[in-house]
Amino acid sequence: MIGIISAMHDELAELLDILQDKKTVVLGNREYHTGNITNQKVVIVFSKWGKVAAAITTTQLISSFKPTKIIFSGVAGAINPTLNIGDIVYGTSLIQHDMDATPLFPKFEIPLLGKSTIETIVDEKLYQCVEEFNNQYYEYVSPEEANEFGIKSPKIIKGIIASGDEFISDNIKQKQLQNDIPDLQCVEMEGAAVAQVCDEYKIPFHIIRIISDKADHSAHIDFPAFTKQIASKYAKGILENYCS
């Protein structure tokens, strides 16, 4: 069974629509939806926003459903200036940008784990599905929808993703993150927490983030519209193919 997590319902709404033999159980005030996508057993859950919410969801998911791997899909703000709205970041490692236990531990290091970043597990099939989606982009997202959000020729970048309990929306914070974590691609609020839980439970973890904004003063976007019209189509296109 594959566990699939997103922070918001609309990010996986279209994937949930094609879930066959769906059963829903409520645990910890969250709905866990089990079923099949093609012939693959999955459990889909919406974690809510933030690191604590994501960690709670992931721990419950692992304990109750015993997934063989977990995939997180959702939106993020760009830190790499070459990233544009609609681009895809395939996460290779994750860091908590608000983790700072100095002087007891170096900045960003997770206390008692002895590391600042958590690597994701390489999954060539998943990355291939991301590439196939991008190559056939307009089979999933209409030109009109893409134009509405200024999406032009979306690209894929592999790299580090940062998480923190803060919505990044100003240039000063963006520049600080660029200086502190030079190879940082994008920022969000859940992924590194999920990665830490998966690391401690020895569960393979993968993450795909769709760029919804530039994480600066231009971060004022219609998130409900973007997640419903754009991000949900990315998740369905990539993960339906992955499960086939």
Q: How far, in Å, are 40, 62, 65 from residue 68 at the CA level?
A: 12, 9, 9
CA distance 211 to 75: 6
Nearest to 93, CA basis, from 107, 104, 108:
108
Percent over 90 (pLDDT), the chain: 84
Is pLDDT larger for residue 180 or for residue 169?
Answer: 180
Q: What is the pLDDT of residues 189-220, one digit of tens each?
A: 999 999 999 999 999 999 999 999 886 655 55
Q: What is the pLDDT of residues 21-69, one digit of tens each?
A: 999 999 999 999 999 999 899 999 999 999 999 999 999 999 999 999 9
CA distance 212 to 232: 12
Q: What is the pLDDT of residues 59-113, one digit of tens each?
A: 999 999 999 999 999 999 999 999 999 999 999 999 999 999 999 999 999 999 9
pLDDT given at position 172:
85
Average pLDDT over residues 5-24: 94
pLDDT given at position 18:
95
Q: Which residue has the tokens 């700072």?
A: 100
pLDDT given at position 168:
81
Cβ partners under 8 Å of residue 62, min gap 6 = 3, 70, 197, 198, 201, 203
- The type of residue at 151 is I
Which of the following is catalytic: 11, 109, 190, 240?
11
Q: Which domains does the chain have, with CATH numbers?
A: 2-243 (3.40.50.1580)
Nearest to 3, CA basis, from 38, 39, 48, 33:
33
Give yes or no: 123 in active site: no
pLDDT given at position 222:
79
pLDDT given at position 59:
98
Q: 45: exposed, middle or buried (C-beta count within 10 Å: 0-12, 13-18, 19+)?
A: buried
| Mean of per-residue pLDDT scores for the chain | 94
Q: Would you say the pTM of this structure is higher than 0.75?
A: yes
pLDDT given at position 219:
52
Give yes or no: 11 in active site: yes
CA distance 81 to 84: 8
Q: Which residue has the tokens 């089990």?
A: 34
pLDDT given at position 216:
65
pLDDT given at position 224:
84
- Would you say residue 221 has pLDDT above 90? no
Q: Which long-range contacts (CB under 8 A, 24 or more apart) does 225-228 make?
A: 225/148, 226/75, 226/149, 227/8, 227/10, 227/11, 227/75, 228/10, 228/13
Which of the following is catalytic: 10, 14, 199, 213?
213
Q: How far, in Å, are 43, 90, 152, 179, 211 from residue 79 at the CA level?
A: 31, 14, 18, 11, 10
